[in-house]
Structures are given as C-alpha cells and as structure tokens.
C-alpha cells in the first residue's frame, strides 16, 4: 500500500497523522510512506526524522493525495483536501461528520472510503482511537478553565485551587466518560471541588473508587443539571453519543442563572457542542462571552500539545492503520470493530448515527460492497 501523510492545514492544528516511529512500522510491513515536507514540524518531528524512518518527503499535499492509496491525517479534511480525494482511496482520520453536512457531501462526492477514528470500537464497547485524545482534551480543559477564570481573561477572578481560608473553584463535569474522568481527576488534583453528572451507575461507582470518594457523583437529570449549574464556577461539557451530534444540556436561558464570570468549557464542540450557545473557537481566539458567562469552545484542544497528542494518537491508531494498509478494505470485513469506523463508502453514508443527524439516507456497508 502507498500511504500518504499531508501537513494538517486546519487553523492551529500542529499534530501529524504518522510519527516517525509509526512510519518505521509501516515500512517494516512493506508499505511505502510519503510525508509532505514540514508535516511534523509542529509536533517536533523534522523531515530528517521521517527520512531516517524510511519515508519519502514530497513537496506538497497535492502530490500526497495524487500518489497514494491511503491518506492518514489527524483532523477532518478541509474543502481543498476533500476535493483531492478520489474513488477507491482510503481516508483514515477524525471526521466528526454529524454536525458537518458540507464535509459529508464533499466526501460523498469523492467516493472515497472514509474511516473515522472516533467510531472505531473495541471488544469492551469502548472507542479506542478517540480515548487518547479524550484523555488529553479532558486534562487541557481543566487548566484552560483555570486560566480563563482569571480576571484578565474575562473570568470572575477566582483562583482555581483557592488558598488557605478561601474556597477553591467548584467544577461541574457533565459526563463521566474518558474526557469527564480525566477532567475530574485533573481538577481534583489541582484542589477544586468536583461534581460529575453521569447516567451509568457502574461508571459512577468506578469514578468514586478511583478518586477515593473525593469527587462527588450524581445521577444526571434535568433537575440535577439545573441544581448544580448555579453553584458551579466552571462547567466542563464531556458528553458523547458515538458518531452523533452532542445533546444540548445547558440552554441559553440557563446562562442568566449562572454566576457572572463563570466558565463553560465545551469539549464536545467537535460533535456540535453540548451547550446551546456553543460555537467553535480557536487557540488564537479561544473565548467569547454570552450573558456574562465565558465560553471556551476550542475545536481541537489536543492540538495545543501536538507532540504528546501525536504520539498518544499513533499508539492507538497504529494497529488499525496497519491492518488497512496490509489488507485494504478487506480489513473492515475481517474486523467488525474497525468496520464501525467506516462512515462513507462509494458515495454513500455507512454509519447510521451520521445519517440520522444529517437527515440523509444510510446504506449497509456490506450492501455497498456487494454493488461492486
């Protein structure tokens, strides 16, 4: 398989689809790897590092897309990128299609096979390719919130960890999954008072166990959200419906009931956000204020730590990427967990939650394959 890695072009995105370590593994499996020049610089990897690992360095993204059978990225393709995809080409990256009809239509028009990291599953029912970035995002969300709480950043002027005699921040985490647990543990470690709202009773028991009871858990309901949000200095949105648009848990009318200068951090923004007033922001301009509440809705939070994020992501994606490179789309037929990652094939949506979110038709992938 000819595998290509373009430089990420989404604003403030410095991660890279393959690290030199991963490239060496692909080469050892007999594949050729082309890297766009400078693709790894933001994450601390030079062209020389990739060459040493066995990659070929090419001048531009157009060459990467034109000369390779499989494209490995980090973020969803931008318009100029999806226009370079072609029929039969495999795209392996984060897609987050549910809130993005324009990208979906672009991928459908290309007739590529688009495999999304965020919907690949494992035998435990988890999302193994989303988990490493969820860990990073959950941790970044906390110290981003702590910084945003400071007065010069628009917050209420509260020191997140407090000092002797003065209470620390109260942090409400919506969702106790990978993002939520990492956010809760980070906030707890920094000295905040932490409440997690979650609907899975076994998950709440697990959070209680791993935090030794230092994190308060409550069953998530409309009433619990309304009770806790008025007491919170920070709310971290960490809810996920795999492949689908995130539910809106904090409504516009709720903002006036919250503390002035409190902070909302929406980690679910890639899936449309879990606050009604959320819209995507960037690391350069991360916040905005509505009704006195500061919103932090950066769409690629892990991009702030590109070295850590690239290495963690590749640790997770490597076996799946190698399977695709070794066997092509046959790998999806042989591995039902990898097959769950297939969102688009031959101009048709093959992931039900995406089709439902966009009110578009869904096709069973095996039926699409059968059409030849």
Dihedral of the CA atoms 209, 215, 221, 227 (nearest 10)? 160
48's CB contacts (< 8 A; 6+ apart) are none
Q: How far apart are CA 200 and CA 327, in angstroms?
A: 37
What distance in Å separates the CA atoms of residue 175 and residue 53, rounded to the nearest whole number? 40
Annotated catalytic residue 96? yes
Catalytic residue among 96, 254, 295, 337: 96
Name every residue whose Cβ is closer than 8 Å to that of residue 295 and which is 6 or more positions away in sequence: 263, 264, 266, 275, 277, 278, 281, 287, 288, 289
List of long-range contacts for 197-206, beta carbons under 8 Å, 24+ apart = 197/172, 197/173, 197/224, 197/225, 197/228, 200/176, 203/176, 203/177, 204/176
Catalytic residue selected from 31, 254, 270, 295: 270
Please confirm, yes or no, whether 60 is among the known catalytic residues.
Answer: no
Please return the burial class of 217, using the count of CB atoms within 10 Å of its CB with bins 0-12, 13-18 and 19+: buried
Catalytic residues: 96, 270
């Amino acid at each position: 398989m000819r595998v290509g890695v373009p430089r990420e072009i989404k604003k403030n995105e410095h991660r890279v689809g393959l690290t030199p370590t991963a490239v060496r593994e692909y080469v050892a499996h007999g594949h050729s790897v082309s890297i766009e020049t400078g693709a790894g610089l933001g994450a601390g990897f030079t062209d020389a590092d990739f060459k040493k690992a066995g990659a070929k360095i090419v001048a531009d993204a157009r060459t990467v897309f034109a000369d390779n059978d499989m494209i490995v990225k980090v973020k969803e393709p931008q318009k100029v990128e999806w226009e370079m995809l072609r029929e039969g080409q495999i795209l392996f990256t984060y897609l987050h299609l549910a809130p993005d009809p324009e990208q979906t239509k672009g991928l459908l028009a290309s007739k590529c096979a688009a495999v999304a990291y965020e919907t690949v599953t494992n035998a435990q029912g988890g999302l193994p390719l989303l988990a490493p970035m969820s860990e990073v995002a959950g941790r970044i969300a906390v110290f981003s919130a702590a910084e945003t709480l400071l007065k010069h950043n628009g917050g209420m002027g509260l020191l997140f960890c407090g000092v002797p005699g003065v209470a620390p921040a109260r942090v409400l985490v919506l969702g106790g999954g990978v993002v939520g647990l990492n956010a809760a543990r980070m906030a707890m470690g920094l000295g905040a008072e932490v409440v997690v709202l979650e609907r899975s009773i076994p998950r709440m028991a697990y959070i209680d166990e791993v935090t030794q009871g230092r994190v308060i858990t409550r069953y998530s309901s409309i009433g619990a959200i309304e009770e806790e949000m008025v007491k919170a200095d920070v709310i971290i949105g960490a809810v996920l419906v795999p492949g689908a648009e995130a539910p809106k848990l904090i409504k516009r009318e709720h903002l006036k009931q919250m503390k002035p200068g409190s902070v909302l951090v929406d980690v679910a923004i890639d899936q449309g956000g879990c606050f009604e007033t959320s819209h995507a922001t960037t690391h350069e301009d991360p916040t905005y204020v509505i009704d006195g509440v500061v919103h932090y809705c950066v769409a690629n939070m892990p991009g702030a730590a590109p070295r850590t994020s690239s290495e963690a992501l590749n640790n997770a994606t490597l076996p799946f990427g190698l399977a695709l490179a070794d066997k092509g789309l046959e790998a999806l037929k042989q591995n039902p967990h990898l097959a769950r990652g297939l969102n688009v094939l031959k101009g048709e949506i093959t992931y039900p939650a995406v089709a439902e979110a966009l009110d578009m038709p869904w096709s069973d992938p095996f039926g699409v394959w059968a059409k030849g």
